[in-house]
Chain A
């Protein structure tokens, strides 16, 4: 009897999600025993045509990581959606646009101009900019076109489940895979898998006190107290606005939470929730002083919407 098929795909992402899957270590052999691989560009030599040749719905499980940045990403998302019975947005980029989504603060032409013409380190006298078609003496070369904006996987095709995280934690990945391998019941479609139902703070071992912030600091400016809540110490920690599931790895190690597990249940916009929480604990009632304290937050968009800008409410606000 043939085994159910597994596909793992890497779109606009850094590859960390693929590494996180391998970080389940020897249990990858259990995955190999339970599934036949249909596609895994990072680890096996299947091509697009191999997937295209399969009947629709033939892939039992597809873990799709990376955001949608190029026409190729769109095409593969549509193909894998059609061929997969269950499609999982795997990791922060597929779930919400991730770090690549921060590029949505600018349009495509602005991005290309900045990267290929304007940065101080650019040396491009011919003004070469990558485009979908380039004429060379041998003929025309084609590249997948850059989309105007970065999108989450769910903005392009229907997604069955989301496994958040940058990257998802291996123990959580294994817990999900094990459930699927055992044929265990999964929650209703649309659910978030491999994460908790509370906030990162619930898993954080640090001691919380009454929060009163007079000054924000950046991680390189202080050596944080090992016991106290990082937010209490003036570090912008996104724990209060981030879904639990990672085990509060970053704050436990002294680094503020960056919010990679996305918003907690019931929250539409992670950044808006963090703004709400932070504004409540700034200890000043004087507008000028408030402005000075808040100016200590470098890069508000990249701080509050670091992993979710492409799918945040702000996305819909932008003209």
Chain B
């Protein structure tokens, strides 16, 4: 059986989630591997969410928000960008390829770009292989 990566996507309400919507209504094919989670802003994506997604079995995490300068909350996307840089350093230290975490800017009008980003990232994570050698059942979260 071929490996189908599980990818969690944190998409901001104002830009990338609408971009994903546009990709859908425009019938632009994109990989079905992405599990989209709508957040109000990429600045809301606590680094804990990212680590938790990996812990619970994600093979890749995509964070996508408004282009620099376009954040609905002025600078949430910059915070997300800086968090990703630090998270990648920690992932690397833990033996995880930092390419499994990606941040992208997709506006509400960029349905085509959204599909391209998802396809490219899915291909990249597929090439990296499963994060965990054997998928173990994950106990229900206590927190």
Interface-side segment among B12-20, B30-38, B84-92, B115-123: B84-92
Chain A 294-319 interface mask (CB, 8 Å, partner B; 1/0): 10010111101100000011111111
Residue in B closest to A105 when the chains form the complex, CB atoms: B93
* B82 in complex: contacting residue of A272, A290, A312, A315, CB < 8 Å: A290
Within the complex, what minimum Cβ distance (angstroms) separates A227 from chain B? 28
Q: Judge if A287 is at the interface, Cβ distance under 8 Å.
A: yes
Known contacts A275-B87, A285-B75, A300-B90; A316/B54 CB under 8 A: yes
Residue in A closest to B87 when the chains form the complex, CB atoms: A275
Residue in A closest to B141 when the chains form the complex, CB atoms: A268
How far is it, in angstroms, between the C-alpha of A141 and the C-alpha of B90 when the chains are bound?
Answer: 40
**Could you tell me which residues of chain B, from 55 to 108, have a CB within 8 Å of some CB in chain A?**
55, 68, 75, 78-79, 81-83, 85-87, 89-91, 93-96
How far is it, in angstroms, between the C-alpha of A66 and the C-alpha of B110 when the chains are bound?
Answer: 54
Chain A 155-173 interface mask (CB, 8 Å, partner B; 1/0): 0000000000000000000
Interface-side segment among A1-9, A44-52, A82-90, A276-284: A276-284
Residue in B closest to A293 when the chains form the complex, CB atoms: B82
Q: Judge if A209 is at the interface, Cβ distance under 8 Å.
A: no
Interface pair A271/B82, CB less than 8 Å apart: no
Interface pair A275/B54, CB less than 8 Å apart: no
Interface pair B86/A269, CB less than 8 Å apart: no
* B48 in complex: contacting residue of A294, A304, A305, A313, CB < 8 Å: A313
Residue in A closest to B136 when the chains form the complex, CB atoms: A316
Q: Judge if A212 is at the interface, Cβ distance under 8 Å.
A: no
Q: Judge if B51 is at the interface, Cβ distance under 8 Å.
A: yes
How far is it, in angstroms, between the C-alpha of A305 and the C-alpha of B90 when the chains are bound?
Answer: 9
Q: Judge if B29 is at the interface, Cβ distance under 8 Å.
A: no
Interface pair A275/B94, CB less than 8 Å apart: no
Within the complex, what minimum Cβ distance (angstroms) separates A144 from chain B? 26
Q: Judge if A273 is at the interface, Cβ distance under 8 Å.
A: yes
Q: Judge if A123 is at the interface, Cβ distance under 8 Å.
A: no
Within the complex, what minimum Cβ distance (angstroms) separates A211 from chain B? 13
Interface pair B81/A300, CB less than 8 Å apart: no
Known contacts A291-B85, A317-B54; A273/B48 CB under 8 A: yes
- B86: chain A residues at CB < 8 Å are 275, 278-279, 294, 297, 300, 304
Q: Judge if B7 is at the interface, Cβ distance under 8 Å.
A: no
- B1: chain A residues at CB < 8 Å are none
Within the complex, what minimum Cβ distance (angstroms) separates A202 from chain B? 21
Residue in A closest to B80 when the chains form the complex, CB atoms: A279
Known contacts A279-B82, A300-B89; A272/B46 CB under 8 A: yes
- B79: chain A residues at CB < 8 Å are 279-280
- B95: chain A residues at CB < 8 Å are 105, 318-319
How far is it, in angstroms, between the C-alpha of A267 and the C-alpha of B46 when the chains are bound?
Answer: 11
Q: Which residues from chain A sit less than 8 Å from chain B, CB to CB? A: 105, 267-269, 271-273, 275-276, 278-280, 282, 285, 287, 290-291, 294, 297, 299-302, 304-305, 312-319
Smallest CB-CB A-B distances: 9 pairs: A301-B93, A316-B55, A313-B51, A279-B82, A272-B47, A300-B89, A279-B83, A317-B54, A272-B48
